[in-house]
Amino acid sequence: MKTQINEIGVIDKLGNKHPVKFQKGLNVVTGKSSTGKSALIEIYDYCFGSDENTIPKGVITTNAAIYYIALSINDQDLVIARDPELHGKGFFRRLDVFNSNDIHQDYFESQYFIAIDAFKKHLRSYFLDIDDVDVSLAAREYRKNKAKAATPSIRSFSSFVLQHQNLVANKHALFYRFDQKEKRDQAIDHTKIFLGLVDQNYFHLSQEHERLTTEINQRKRQQNANMRAAESYKERIAPVLIQLYAMMGFEGTPITPQALIRNPQATKEELDKIIVPEKIDYNSDAVTKRYNELDHARTLKTAELRKLQRKASSISKHIDEESKLEDNLKGFETPEHAHISSTTCPFCHTEKEELAESAQKLKNAIIKVSGNLAHARPMRAKFESSLVEVERQIEAINNDISQLNSQIHELEKTEKRLDEKKSLYESILIAKAQLFMLLDTQNLANDVELEKEIEALSGQLRKITGKLNEYNIEAGLNNAAAKVNEYMSEIGNLFEFEASYKPIKLNFSFETFDLFHLTPEGEKIYLRSMGSGANWLYSHVTLFLALHRYFAELGERCAIPSVIFFDQPTQVYFPNFNRDNSETFEEQKTEEMEQRKRSDEERAVDEDIKAVENLFSQISMYCDKIEKENGFCPQIIITDHADGLTLSNGVSFEGLVNGNRWRKRGLIEPVPE
């Protein structure tokens, strides 16, 4: 997102204003230690909604009443601010046209301070329009208080914008706030939103996709339940129906059990038409055949039952033997040694060694066998599992036999009724009534209707899936990574990486946010394994410049502000500058040279100055290049000790500093008394 900071400033408790003005492209704030350079990055973070005020304690925090930023987002001018006394609120005010003179103590009226959560959401709306990022409403139901998933926040932008002093050359971390896993995961997950790969409609489509999938699965489960219920009904209805047909003397099956189950009401009406006295075949032996079939089936099942019962008895016996063996082994002790006696001839008194050798072998065998017995692996669990399986089979066979007995008993009851001179039709009516009673208890959903509903829902799901596939997030992230890697290859080779890493080939993943150098042999060397502070610095700078080049190409599709802060990037060359108290940078360079002589450090200060000048030169040229390609470029703010540099592209270093030199003053000047 095209963003430019016009001014970062402090209103002190006396009402005085202390502004730091910035321009497009590269900006440099230079000065000695403890002047407030690093405070600028913390003021930015605080004004962008940080819950914690991390501005360094000292002159600034003692005297500051208001911290503010005047910025432009897509040519809309805004002022945002925080009052430490109103920590739970943020200040937000739009401007028609930015004019630094308009910003003063009275500008920060109380009605423009709003609750910090509302402030962050309001500011976020200038970068992206999104309210709900849940892809699963079911997951929301299980979340505490059924809250929505965390939506993208302006806080996530900080990871792509801020490179603090302790981060810019860090080998263990690349991004601000990634030491907090939850914030790291959110930033990575939200990147697809920041890059414009998805929008609010994507998440609504995802929720609808889940809803339709759930409804289809529910109906399919109902179908499966109906199918299982139908099988159960078939097992109960089929014997009664077949018996009814046998009593009528029918050879075939006018109405199948399946037809009865599918449409009970219609088939009951058909049965009323065919189960009538005039259709009874009194000469048929169908009942006898049916009886013989059932009796034969019962005989087979009984034989199978006896076989399973014998198997269960055998397994139980093995389990008992196993238990006895375990009890015996508990009292068994492996002999520690065996006594071996030698034999002597009673005549010549010669000792015989053969018996001693045999005894030794026997001893070894006893120890081995006893050891094996003591450590024998129990088989009870396997036996018990087998017994459970057999008992289940026995239960199923018993149920089958019970059903067969019941059917045989019904036929015998029919014969008995006939012996008692009851009419055959009367027995048929009893069987018919029994069948109708079973049918009346059936309450299955209409499978035809279910199938129609599933097809309609599936059609909607196909349309939703097609729309979701158009987003093609994976391809978008891969393309983004390919672009960034291409730019890193171009940018990285302009910096002073160690010779062993040249040509540098950095690779970045938008899925894991890992960075590594790929050697010509295909080996991945991650940042933590790339020795030297210079390598770590240039890896950070290369990655962030490549990222923001890609962001600039995306234009308004990218929500991430086009701003980068690099705090003290030259510290890898001049670590002693952290104690820089000189009136001029030249004085500090001279002191650095003396310190290196005293410590016998071989690398010359001038050599490091050249590396630093190259760093600033390449960043300056980068800004020019991006502006030519896209019409605007990221605004890069560097706070550092370096000064008076000569850039290779002819840009005046003084113009980059633009009055922000703090060697004889600090951010707050003059300091209130």
Q: Which residues pair with 338 in a beta bridge?
A: none
Q: What is the mean pLDDT of the chain?
A: 84
| Backbone torsions φ then ψ of 640, nearest 5 degrees | -160, 170
Q: Which residue has the higher pLDDT, 447 or 393?
A: 393
SS (H, E, C) 578-613: HHCCCCCHHHHHHHHHHHHHHCCCCCCHHHHHHHHH
Q: Compute the distance between CA of residue 376 and CA of residue 286 in angstroms, rounded to an integer.
A: 62
Tell me whether residue 327 is exposed, middle or buried, using C-beta atoms within 10 angstroms of its C-beta: 0 to 12, 13 to 18, 19 or more.
exposed
| DSSP run (H or E) holding 344 | strand 343-344
Q: Of 208, 187, 193, 199, nearest to 137 (Cα)? A: 208
pLDDT at 331: 63
Tell me the average pLDDT across 220-239. Answer: 72
Q: Compute the distance between CA of residue 617 and CA of residue 600 in angstroms, rounded to an integer.
A: 30
Instruction: Give the three-class secondary structure for 26.
Output: strand
Q: What is the pLDDT of residues 269-295, one digit of tens each?
A: 777 777 777 777 677 676 777 778 888
Please give the structure tokens belonging to residue 198: 């998805």
Q: Please name each of the domains of the chain with its CATH number.
A: 1-127+631-673 (3.40.50)
Q: Compute the distance between CA of residue 191 and CA of residue 512 in angstroms, rounded to an integer.
A: 11
> Do 662 and 29 meet the contact criterion of CB atoms below 8 Å apart?
yes
| DSSP run (H or E) holding 65 | strand 64-73
Q: How confident is the model at residue 445 (pLDDT cuts 50, 70, 90)?
A: very low
Please give the structure tokens belonging to residue 574: 């001049």
Query: pTM higher than 0.85 for the full model?
Result: no
Q: Compute the distance between CA of residue 498 and CA of residue 533 in angstroms, rounded to an integer.
A: 10
Q: What is the pLDDT of residues 87-101, one digit of tens each?
A: 899 999 999 999 999
pLDDT at 444 over 70: no
Please give the structure tokens belonging to residue 510: 């938008």
Judged by phi (left if over 0) then psi (alpha if -120 to 50, else beta), residue 217 lies in: alpha
Which amino acid does the sequence have at 339? H
Q: What is the pLDDT of residues 313-372, one digit of tens each?
A: 988 888 888 777 767 766 656 555 555 555 666 666 666 656 566 666 776 766 665 555
